Amino acid sequence: MLERILSSAEALAEALHEEMSRDERIFIIGEDLVSHAGIFGQFKGIPENFPGRIIDTPISETCIVGSGLGAAMTGMRPIVDLHFSDFVTCAMDELANQAAKIRYMFGGQVSLPMVIWCPDGAGLRAAAQHSQSLEAWFVHTPGLKVVVPSEPADVKGLIKAAIRDDDPVMFFQHKLLFRKEGHVPEEDYVIPIGQAEVKREGKDVTLLTYGSGYYLSTDAADELAKLDIEAEVLDLRTLKPVDMETVAGSIKKTHRGVIVHEACLTGGFGAELTARIQFELFDYLDAPVTRVAAKDVPIPFSPPLEDFVLPSVSDVVEAARAVVYR
């Protein structure tokens, strides 16, 4: 198969072009979108090709999310750009109290087809208020779906699924991954929400991961291979609903799991996944499920501090070695 290499930013822009051409109810709303086509260039071509359907807002996160919500309730399909995922805090009522609950508390009278697009993650020396990975907050909020793609092909297939979904979807895309390249099929395809993928086969241990953790895990798997440890890399892609079937298939094969995520350890998604694996798959485990995550502090600014706080490839390697006892 001929490789068609795109960056994640290009994959996103391509998917948005295709979707916005298909359905004129889709529009993008957020801060600083038009002049730069998104601060990461992620909306390249959209201002020219879809004038009036990519809307610059004042710096008003509460109302940016709220206006997406009101539009979704009245026949539109908004994509709300939160600029930096850290700013969800300024719109938390609209996300947690309104978007997540409106369909439910109104007895299913209305659907809320909206995507909350959140660039997240650390590693840019952007410090505590521009570097967080907050996905677990929303996993803990019934009524929201949570998608965290890693590779460019996943970005394209999953943003399409999120846009076509009739429920609110929190879509986290790591800022450092916008330039990551990979093969992206040219055709119109959708990766269903709630479907994980085993992206690298192995028999000794499963690295369960998502987002930026995927790249840590594949690098770690290369290192582990040099030690004759065959790591399977399972990219969850969606955290809610989580694909326990694929998780179970892998754990039943390897009998060991290491969860890898960039979000801080305590109360992170790894805690939830660990609980489910130990309960649902206890008899298949040969070792405790362990977690590799950021340390429990805000992301610091200075490079040696940030590097120390974030999980590293060697952390994943060590965690995997510990559970395979080699």
Partner 1 sequence: MPDDAKTYMDLYQTMVTIRQFETMAGEMFAGGKIPGFIHLSIGQEGSSVGVCSVLRLDDYLTTTHRGHGHMIAKGADLNRMAAELFGKKTGYCKGKGGSMHIADFSIGFLGANGVVAGGLPIITGAGLSIKMRKTDQVAVCFFGDGAANRGPVHEAMNMASIWTLPIVFCVENNQFASTTRTSYACSVVDISTRAAGYNMPGISVDANDVLAVREAAADAVARARGGKGPTLLENKTYRMKGHFEGDPQKYRTEEEIASWKDKMDPINRFATVLTKKKILNKKKIQQIWDEAAAKVKGAVEFAEKSPYPEPEEALEDLLVNP
**Binding positions for partner 1, rule: CB under 8 A:** 27, 29, 52, 55, 57-58, 60, 62-63, 65-76, 78, 93-94, 97-98, 101-111, 142-143, 145, 165-167, 193, 241
Toward partner 1, which CB reaches closer, 102 or 320? 102
Q: In terms of CB distance, is 103 or 255 closer to partner 1?
A: 103
CB of 317 to partner 1, least distance (A): 38
What is the crossing angle of helices 8-22 and 152-164, to 10°? 30
Amino acid at 111: S
- Residue 83: closest CA among 123, 29, 122: 29
Cis peptide before 241 (omega within 30 of 0): yes
Which candidate in 130, 174, 255, 261 is catalytic?
130
Q: Closest CB to partner 1 among 166 and 280? A: 166
**CB-based contact 292:273 (threshold 8 Å):** no
Instruction: Please tell me whether residue 322 adopts helix, strand or coil conformation.
Output: helix
Return the exposure string of 275-303: e unless at least 16 CB atoms fall within 10 Å of the residue's CB, then b: eebeeebeeebeeebbbbbbeeeebbeee
Distance in Å, CB of 68 to partner 1, minimum? 6
Q: Active-site residue 83, yes or no?
A: no
Q: Shortest approach of partner 1 to residue 103 CB, angstroms?
A: 6
As measured in angstroms, the least distance from the Cβ of 217 to partner 1 is: 29
Q: Identify which of residues 113 and 152 has a Cβ nearer to partner 1 in the complex.
A: 113
DSSP, residue by residue, 192-217: -TT--EEEE--SSEEEEE-THHHHHH
Supply the minimum distance, in Å, between the C-beta of residue 172 and partner 1.
19
Helix (H), strand (E), coil (C) string for 31-52: CCCCCCCCCCCCCCCHHHHCCC
If you ran DSSP here, which 8-state letter would residue 99 be given? I
Q: Which is nearer to partner 1, 167 or 223 (CB)?
A: 167
Catalytic residue list: 130
